[in-house]
Amino acid sequence: MKLISSILLLLIFSSLGMGQTTTQSSSVAATEQELLNIAQELFDAIPLGNKAVWEKYVADDVIYTDENRRLLTKKQLVESLAPFPKGYSGSIRIANVQSRITGGAAILSYRALEEEYVFGQKLSPIYLVTDAYLKRGGPWQLVASHVSVLPSERQPLAVNPELYPSIVGEYELAPGIAYTITIEDGKLMGQRTGREKEELLPADANTFFPKGTVRGEKVFVRDASGRPTQMLDRRENNDLVWKKVK
């Protein structure tokens, strides 16, 4: 984190000076393209298991957080590379680029759009990547990278709508803060005190999620008779417990 903070401070202080000339702007654009070429070369090396590319462009002291939230060293990164197994293929392209570049420091933020084929089936994950580069008396090197996966829109499952009426009611988090569930035109709707209504889509018979988001699952806990007694508002596997009061 100290390394990233130092880069950010360098960029901020540099921005306090005079505006860039046309020549400077052209130089920044050229540097951005050079760094994007490096990033693309790194991605292209992954399916081939080409360790040499990663050895070349990744700094020995890199801080790398991958899409599985693992903090990896350069040694771990390079050793993890291997050609895709039989039946697997894929590629990654870069889009939606933003950059902050000054002197020998640069930060790139972009989306990495992957197309992966697994025995003929296509996967299309999207990654949000932030890279930090430094030029320390030599070529540009990747000194930090944070990769996160942008979740695809969740698809609902078919469940018996006759289950909906048992879920209808009011669930309380604290006095004055309730989540009310109703049925409107055959759709299950939820509304927290002071907020807009949201449609709840089924993940299974007792788990629902708000339409258009992957967060905020509603898990209904039933007693021995099958009557819902609690609603768990689940976010990243952390639960807020709402008690059914009506």
- Structural domains of the chain, ranges and CATH numbers in brackets: 2-150 (3.10.450.50), 161-244 (2.40.128.50)
Query: What tens digit of pLDDT does each residue of 185-208 get?
Result: 989 999 999 999 999 999 998 999
* Under 8 Å between Cβ of 102 and 10: yes
pLDDT band at residue 6 under the 50/70/90 scheme: low
The whole-number pLDDT of residue 80 equals: 94
Q: What is the mean pLDDT of residues 30-46?
A: 96
> What average pLDDT does this structure show over 19-41?
84
- Is a pLDDT exceeding 90 seen at residue 174? yes
Average pLDDT over residues 119-141: 95
- What is the predicted pLDDT for the residue at 153? 77
Burial 140-159 (b: 16+ CB within 10 A, else e): bbbbbbbbeeeeeebeeeeb
Kindly indicate the confidence band of residue 38, based on its pLDDT and cuts at 50, 70 and 90.
very high
Q: For residue 220, what pLDDT is reported?
A: 95
The DSSP secondary structure of 101-146, one letter per residue, reads EETTEEEEEEEEEEEEEETTEEE--EEEEEEEEEESSSSEEEEEEE
Where in the chain does DSSP place strands (E)?
Answer: 58-65, 71-72, 88-102, 105-118, 121-123, 126-135, 140-150, 169-174, 177-184, 187-192, 198-204, 207-210, 217-222, 228-235, 238-244
User: Is pLDDT at 68 greater than 80 in this prediction?
Assistant: yes
**Of the given ranges (15-24, 133-142, 213-222), which has the lowest mean pLDDT?**
15-24
Determine the pLDDT at residue 137: 86
Amino acid at 188: L
- The continuous run of DSSP H or E covering 164 comes out as helix 164-167
Rounded CA separation 158/104 (Å): 55
